[in-house]
Structure 1
Amino acid sequence: MSTARPSRRKTGCRRPRRPSRPRERGATDRGEAVAHRLALVTLGATSVLILLGGLVTNTGAALAVPDWPSTFGYNMLLFPWARMAGGILYEHSHRLAGAVVGLLTLGLAAALWPAGGRLRWLGVTAAVTVVAQGVLGGLRVVLLEDTLAIVHGSLAQAFFALLSAIALLSSRAAAVPLRGADPAVRRVAFAAAAAVYLQIVFGALLTHAGWLWLHVGGALAVFAVVPSVTARLRGTGDPVAAPIARVLLVLLGLQLLLGVGTFLARFTAIWIPGGQTTLLVLPLAHRLVGSLILGAVVVLALRVSGHPRSAAASRVPAMTLDVMASGERGRGAQELGHPQSAAASRTPLQ
């Protein structure tokens, strides 16, 4: 009697293997992580640039360097450091910082290009905007037009808002939709972003054209709308919207104090401690906090818009379709290899 174990019947079908993750996905994730970090660096450099721009404006150093794109006939990058003093120091430092931000923005656009979709075109828009901003700044020096100064200052803040949007949409958090927010908050958030930006434009008009009460009216509108957004988003528990809403509320309080202090220092005879230093620091801080408020409101408006970033959102459906297709192929192969068992496994409804 043979003791050999009967061999199992082999079929030409194999159990379908679970599809592996595409190799490109890891590279794409790393690329977007690099782009996100670069967006944050560019955002920080732009904050410094905005401060330097305010320093140039508030010290009257905008025309300390009379030529452009050269600096007293020198290549901008080769101007002697020994001659950088007073207004020349402020204005030339502003130009050098602008060049750094320009290079960072071009690098950011290149880093966003492989992501495709919305991120790619946001990167292109940022690159075009930073070039236009540099040209506007140069024309302001050459043509001596205050209108160009107003447009230059307003576009700088729009560029900051654009970088804030890129920083959010290139992050992993952008792939997860916001939960727990009132749908009506979307309209309020976008209205708040528009109000904050208009208020910044009114600030530029105040600086260069003296339109004080327009700026005061804009402040009232901002403080009427923005706290409503923060109140609706602080309790959502969202890892992005909730903390930014809390920080935004603090920034609003700080901005109110800075605005009142700047008004008293510039437009009244009330004594302010610190003298000229306070007169310089208050409007600079007021300008920077205004930029931060704009960036925060734009991030919140995008967060509640309900549209996750296209690149991240498109991966899950694509992989789901691959798994479903693989499963269908596997079941078809089993039916070809074992027609009887396949027929027996069907229910009467099939």
Structure 2
Amino acid sequence: MAHRLALATLVATCVLILLGGLVTNTGAALAVPDWPSTFGHNMFLFPWSGMVGGIFYEHSHRLIGAVVGLLTLGLAAALWPLGSRLRRLGLLAAIVVLAQGLLGGLRVVLLQDTLAIFHGSLAQAFFALLAAIALLTTPRGAVAGPPVERELQGLTLLAAGLVYAQIVFGALLTHAGRVDLHLAGAVAVFVVVPIVTARLRRTGDAVAVPVSRLILVLLGIQLLLGVGSFLARFSSLWIPGEQLTVLLLPVAHRLVGSLILAATVILAVRSVAAAEKEAEQEKRSRQATDRALTIHDRGDRTPRSHAASLSGHPRYEPTSRLPLQ
């Protein structure tokens, strides 16, 4: 139940990110000037006949956001009885989705581009969190994989961090024109992530191997989308499809970036779980060794007389010498 709900929330969030990209790239972010109402109507009662142009994108984004919020609250409730780790993740997801809704509303009310950057970046972090929850609620994901080196564990965390930073740089490019950061982030991602996936493919892990292969495919697609988006925005070259292509390229680029982030987070969670399993095994081994040594030491300190009495043999008592006459 929890896994199916996590997948449903993940898919709905993917649709929400897609709509968010359409809202941004069509310039419809402020098509609805009020919040939480929609042109004075209750958000859920706004007439469909009024959803035209940019209002369609913006109001659809709000409605899907509400669906994601409800699904997340249901997911948190489903995770509550499944153990402390999943309970904490469910609670964190509920907090993040509420904060995300508030940021989106404040973006409309306060008209601040900075809030749009935070709103978009937090959406990606929320998507990655849902991916981790979806992994941990599967039977295969709940079982730790083969042990990985501590260095490789650190590299998986670094890869996930770099991908997320690159997404933030993408938001800065969209809202502040920071091309330099986004290009530098792309170089870092395309250097580190393939190294991590190559090493993880050699571990034979049932989860990490297919996810690593998927990441390589997504990176290739992302490179093409990134080049296309850059040319569409910053060059005068003719692009097939013209306005439609110019709109869809950055939206698809953002969506594939979300998938890469989710996949690298899955690898990081998987490697951390393997490291925790190895540490737990080492701890149990040390405890068993300590118990064996303790028992051995106690045996060495047992008095011989006590051991003899336990064996049923009489204890030898030396006779006292008679004084010489």
Q: TM-score, normalised by structure 2?
A: 0.83
The counterpart of 2:235, out of the listed 261, 268, 272, is 268
Contact 1:169 1:309 (8 Å CA) reproduced: no
CA–CA distance in structure 1, aligned partners of residues 81 and 195 of structure 2: 38
Paired position in structure 1 for 2:40: 73
Contact 1:175 1:309 (8 Å CA) reproduced: no
Paired position in structure 2 for 1:306: 273
Contact 1:175 1:308 (8 Å CA) reproduced: no
Paired position in structure 2 for 1:163: 130
Give the 3-state SS of the residue equivalent to 1:306 in structure 2. helix
| Alpha-carbon offset, residue 184 of structure 1 | 2.1
Give the 3-state SS of the residue equivalent to 2:272 in structure 1. coil
Contact 1:174 1:309 (8 Å CA) reproduced: no
Give the 3-state SS of the residue equivalent to 1:177 in structure 2. coil
Contact 1:61 1:88 (8 Å CA) reproduced: yes
**Residue 172, structure 1, aligned to residue 139, structure 2:** yes
The counterpart of 2:64, out of the listed 93, 97, 109, is 97
Paired position in structure 2 for 1:324: none
**Residue 45, structure 1, aligned to residue 12, structure 2:** yes
Contact 1:174 1:308 (8 Å CA) reproduced: no
Give the 3-state SS of the residue equivalent to 2:273 in structure 1. coil
CA–CA distance in structure 1, aligned partners of residues 267 and 90 of structure 2: 20
CA–CA distance in structure 1, aligned partners of residues 72 and 276 of structure 2: 20
Paired position in structure 2 for 1:140: 107
CA–CA distance in structure 1, aligned partners of residues 276 and 60 of structure 2: 36
Give the 3-state SS of the residue equivalent to 1:261 in structure 2. helix
| Alpha-carbon offset, residue 180 of structure 1 | 6.1
Task: Check 1:308–1:176 CA distance in 2 against 1; reply closer, same or farther (3 A cut).
Answer: farther
CA–CA distance in structure 1, aligned partners of residues 6 and 78 of structure 2: 10
Task: Check 1:124–1:307 CA distance in 2 against 1; reply closer, same or farther (3 A cut).
Answer: farther
Structure 2 residue runs of 5 or longer lacking an equivalent are 285-325
The counterpart of 1:201, out of the listed 165, 168, 172, is 168
Cα deviation, 1:75-100, whole Å, max 9, x if unaligned, reads 00000001100000000000000000
Contact 1:118 1:309 (8 Å CA) reproduced: no
Contact 1:68 1:142 (8 Å CA) reproduced: yes
Paired position in structure 2 for 1:111: 78
Q: Which amino acid aligns with 1:206?
A: L
**Residue 234, structure 1, aligned to residue 201, structure 2:** yes
* Same amino acid, percent of matched pairs: 70
Paired position in structure 1 for 2:308: none
Greater shift, 230-239 or 255-264, is seen at 230-239
The counterpart of 1:296, out of the listed 263, 286, 300, is 263
CA–CA distance in structure 1, aligned partners of residues 208 and 202 of structure 2: 9
Structure 1 residue runs of 5 or longer lacking an equivalent are 1-33, 318-350
| Alpha-carbon offset, residue 37 of structure 1 | 1.1
Paired position in structure 2 for 1:220: 187
CA–CA distance in structure 1, aligned partners of residues 134 and 64 of structure 2: 20
Contact 2:38 2:46 (8 Å CA) reproduced: yes
CA–CA distance in structure 2, aligned partners of residues 166 and 272 of structure 1: 40
Task: Check 1:160–1:198 CA distance in 2 against 1; reply closer, same or farther (3 A cut).
Answer: same
| Alpha-carbon offset, residue 270 of structure 1 | 1.1
Q: Which amino acid aligns with 1:105?
A: T
- Give 4+ residue runs of structure 1 displaced > 6 Å after superposition: none
Contact 1:261 1:282 (8 Å CA) reproduced: yes
- Give runs of aligned pairs for residues 329-340 of structure 1, distance below 5 A: none
Greater shift, 42-51 or 230-239, is seen at 230-239
The counterpart of 1:58, out of the listed 21, 25, 32, is 25
Paired position in structure 2 for 1:283: 250
CA–CA distance in structure 2, aligned partners of residues 231 and 308 of structure 1: 19
RMSD: 1.6
Cα deviation, 1:269-316, whole Å, max 9, x if unaligned, reads 111111000001100100000000000000001101135999xx9xxx
Contact 1:109 1:120 (8 Å CA) reproduced: yes
CA–CA distance in structure 2, aligned partners of residues 123 and 307 of structure 1: 22
Contact 2:10 2:130 (8 Å CA) reproduced: yes
Cα deviation, 1:219-239, whole Å, max 9, x if unaligned, reads 001001100111011232221
Q: TM-score, normalised by structure 1?
A: 0.77
Contact 2:12 2:68 (8 Å CA) reproduced: yes
CA–CA distance in structure 2, aligned partners of residues 108 and 94 of structure 1: 21
Contact 2:6 2:134 (8 Å CA) reproduced: yes
